[in-house]
Structure formats: C-alpha cells, structure tokens
C-alpha cells in the first residue's frame, strides 16, 4: 500500500486542532496534565461512524468494491494547516494505529477488540493523544524548526507498554505509552502533596493498599535523540534486533542505540567536498526486516543501494545497486525528477522490495539487481504525457507513504489502485 498524504488508507482519520482525544465510545483513556494536553477538550471530539456490511467486497461482475468503514473526526472545510495528517503507522499486530500531523501531535487509535472476529471490519477508537514535538528555532542558523511529524515507527512489544519513535526535521523521540488502572493509597510516610514526612513524626508503618481506578493511558518521553542531523530527517527505521535504529537526512544516515542519546554513528555520508558537485540526495532508508546488518537507501537519481554494515564502519560502498536502465528515447528535461524515488519498503520476509517514484511502483527481487520483476503504473493513464504539467506544480514534492499489504497505490485526483 503506497499512498500519498492526501489519500490515507481506511479508516480515514480526521480530527481538528485542539480537539484530539478519546472517543467517548471507546477505551477510556487519558493522561496526566504533564504529558497529555487537551484532555478535557477531547471529550468534545465529533465522531462519525458509517458502518457497512463489508469494506472489501466483490461486486456482481467480480470487481472489488471499496467503502468507508469509519470516519473519525469532523468533515469541516476549514481545516487548518496543523490538522493535516503527515504520517500514519500501524504497529506490528495491527491493533494500534498512530497518526502524526503538521501540528506536532500524535494520535493513537486502538482496534475495537470486538471487531477481531470480523477481520475485514477494523473499527478503531481513539486510545491516546499527546504533543510529540513543539516548534523550535535554531538561533545559530536562524532557521525555524517545524513541529511537523515526519515519521512514526513502532517497536515490537515486549511488555504491557508500547514504545514508538517519532521525529520531526531535527529531533527524534522515544515514547512509552502505558495503561494504569490501579493506584496505591494508604501511605503514612508521605504528606498529601507527596513530600516525605520527617521520620520523627512517624510512629508506625502502614501497609499501603492497591485500589482500582479509571483506566488512564499515559504517554511519556523516555529518550530524546537530537543534534545529530544537519539536514532534514526524512526516514527512521528500527532494526530487527530491536536495540538500534537508523535515521536518514538528505545526505547522511546515522545509526543509533535506543539506550544512548548523546552519540550516534555515521554509516552513510554522500556529502561532496564541494556542494556544487552534489548530484543526488537520500530520499528514504530502511533496515532489512530479518538481517540486522543490512539496510537499503534510495536516492533522487532513482537508484537503491543495499549496504552491509559488516563490510566497514562507513558504508561508502554498496553491496548491491538496484537501478533500471533508462530508455534513451524517453529522456527529457524532467527525467531526473520523474525517476526520483520517494519511498522504499521491504517485504516481511526480506526477499522483495517495493520502490515508488513519480509515475510507477516497482517490485524488486533482492537477488536480481538488473531490473524490477514487476512495474505498476501509479500516475494517471500510467504514461508521461501529462507529467510535465504535473511536475511544474508543487505537488511533485508530496511524500508517498508505503506499507506492504499486497500492493495498493495512491495516486493523484483521489485515485486508489489495488494490485493482488
């Protein structure tokens, strides 16, 4: 499923600024005022549920028919810039869906447990919401740093809590999302404001008791990874060892350990000595889902490089190069822009890779570098006739989000293509 930002997958998730929060019909969640703002205003969030018998059915002629399963939020025309969703990401089992917006907020939706018996009807309720990033200003370079969430990545669950990484242009944060439905009462060693009582005034020790309370969902930042990227971060990817992750900007890729915030290792650096000699930039990067030493990154030249971290500390030499030879008859002034890869994804078994450029989606076999095994058109009519007009608009720089579930392609003008 490779989708642009303006064609989000079902369920379509819309919410207004200042009103993110809990669905009154879903899991009771919340947080302390320290971590989750707008909790009270979240109760006013308008929820529209439009249920149908099936979200993926076959018509009388055998064609696949699509319909909305849910619409979350209000369908207002006056949507502000901060309300626009910039990224979406399911966790590994599909029970949670995290969305990030241009206002720096992360909203997590939880799948209704009752809908698990209907695998084609995934109904989600708002589980938690928190402000991940705030706008900042780089005084050294006199640049504003937007709060927009560029990427969200989930870590595999190892305990009752959930962990996810979120990033804007410069800073990556590790968040812990946990539930609390019990509280401890009966301390006689602390005062009501939480301060310790002088032991001289304590005549006996009282055993505290655990009492049930309303379910509370808390989101707290556990790690903040900053000051490692000169250029805007476009990708983050968690390694299969669940201990390290990579972050990529336009010219460099860094390797991080989840427990170390003040040090990262530069594993790819394509910045030339003279910036006038710059010919390409990094557009996306991702770890191999099985082999923890392998990762791929794509470039604006339409190439994908597979690198092995065992070869050297700085992966300036690739192990494999995936590039489709260009037909000389199709060369034009816009060829380089059209061939620029906007996203790359690896299949769950690590055998196949999907890349998205402006006009097509290509499926690669990691054992064959010379050409893709499949090519699917992603633009209108699948040709280049209308490309120059579309390229002249700012829409050519829209991001394309990729998740492999068979193959679903988002295109312009609200088109959505599905390949089995």
Tell me, yes or no, whether 357 lies in a domain: yes
pLDDT, mean over the chain: 78
Q: Residues 37-60: what's their mean pLDDT?
A: 41
pLDDT tens-digit map of 242-283: 999 999 999 999 999 999 999 999 999 999 999 999 999 999
In a domain, 216, yes or no: no
The answer to the question of residue 414 being in a domain is: yes
pLDDT for res 118: 62
106 lies in a domain? yes
Q: 258 and 164 in one domain? A: no
Last residue of a domain, one of 122, 145, 171: 171
Instruction: Let me know if residue 35 belongs to a domain.
Output: yes
Residue 308 sits in the same domain as residue 376: yes
- Which CATH number goes with the domain that contains 403? 2.130.10.10
Asked whether residue 153 is domain-assigned, the answer is yes
> What residues make up the domain containing 76?
1-171
355 falls within a domain? yes
Are 295 and 371 members of one domain? Answer: yes
Q: pTM score > 0.85 for this model? A: no
Weakest mean pLDDT among 130-144, 339-353, 387-401:
387-401
In a shared domain, residues 282 and 414: yes
Do both 159 and 239 map to the same domain? no
3-state SS, one letter per residue, for the chain = CEEECCCCCCCEECCCCCCCCCCCCCCCCCCCCCCCCCHHHHCCCCEECCCCCCCEEECCCCCEEECCCCEECCCCCCCCHHHCEEEEEECCCCCEEEEEECCCEEEEEEECHHHHHCCCCCCEEEEEEEECCCCEEECCCCEEECCCCCEEEECCCCCCCEEEEEECCCCEEEEEEEEEEEEEECCCCECCCCCECCHHHCCCCCCCEEEEEEEEEEEEEEEEECCCCCCCCCEEEECCCCCEEEEECCCEEEEEECCCCCCCEEEEECCCCCHHHCCCCEEEEEECCCCCCEEEEEECCCCEEEEECCCCCCCCCCCEEECCCCCHHHCCCCHHHHHCCCEEEECCCCCEEEEECCCEEEEEECCCCCCCCEEEECCHHHCCCCHHHHHCCHHHHCCEEECCCCEEEECCCCCEEEEC
- The last residue of a domain, from among 154, 171, 188: 171
Q: Are 235 and 151 members of one domain? A: no
Q: Which residue has the higher pLDDT, 77 or 100?
A: 100
Number of domains in the chain: 2
| Residues 261, 127 share a domain | no
310 located within any domain: yes
């Amino acid at each position: 499923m490779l989708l642009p930002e303006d064609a989000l997958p079902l369920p379509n998730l819309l919410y207004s600024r200042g009103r993110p929060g809990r669905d009154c019909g879903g899991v009771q969640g919340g947080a302390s005022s320290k971590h989750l703002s707008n909790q009270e205003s979240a109760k006013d969030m308008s929820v529209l549920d439009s249920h149908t018998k099936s979200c993926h059915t076959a018509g009388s002629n055998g064609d696949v028919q699509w319909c909305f399963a849910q619409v979350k939020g209000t369908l207002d025309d006056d949507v502000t810039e901060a309300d626009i969703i910039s990224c979406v990401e399911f966790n590994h089992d599909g029970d949670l869906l995290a969305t990030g917006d241009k206002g720096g907020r992360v909203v997590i939706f939880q799948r209704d447990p009752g809908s698990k018996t209907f695998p084609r009807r995934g109904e989600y309720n708002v589980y938690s919401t928190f402000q991940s990033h705030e706008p900042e200003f780089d005084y050294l370079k006199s640049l504003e740093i937007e709060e927009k969430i560029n990427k969200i990545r989930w870590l595999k669950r190892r305990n009752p809590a959930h962990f996810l990484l979120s990033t804007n242009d410069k800073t990556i944060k590790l968040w812990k999302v946990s539930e609390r439905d019990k509280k401890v009462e009966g301390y006689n060693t602390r005062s009501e404001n939480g301060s310790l009582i002088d032991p001289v005034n304590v005549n006996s020790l009282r055993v505290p008791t655990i009492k049930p309370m309303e379910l509370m969902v808390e989101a707290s930042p556990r790690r903040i990874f900053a000051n490692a990227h000169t250029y805007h971060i476009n990708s983050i990817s968690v390694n299969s060892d669940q201990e390290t992750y990579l972050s990529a900007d336009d010219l460099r890729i860094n390797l991080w350990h989840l427990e170390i915030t003040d040090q990262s290792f530069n594993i790819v650096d394509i910045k030339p000595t003279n910036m006038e000699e710059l010919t390409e930039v990094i557009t996306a990067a991702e770890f191999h889902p099985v082999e923890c030493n392998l990762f791929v990154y794509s470039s604006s030249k339409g190439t994908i490089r597979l690198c092995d971290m065992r070869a050297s500390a700085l992966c300036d030499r690739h192990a494999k190069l995936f590039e489709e030879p260009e037909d000389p008859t199709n060369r034009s002034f816009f060829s380089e822009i059209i061939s620029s890869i906007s996203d790359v994804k690896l299949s769950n078994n690590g055998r196949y890779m999907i890349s998205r450029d402006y006009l097509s989606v290509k499926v690669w076999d990691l054992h064959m570098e010379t050409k893709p095994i499949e090519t699917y058109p992603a633009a209108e009519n699948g040709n280049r006739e209308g490309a120059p007009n579309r390229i002249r608009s700012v829409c050519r720089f829209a991001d394309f989000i990729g998740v492999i579930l068979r193959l679903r392609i988002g295109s312009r003008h609200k088109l959505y293509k599905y390949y089995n």
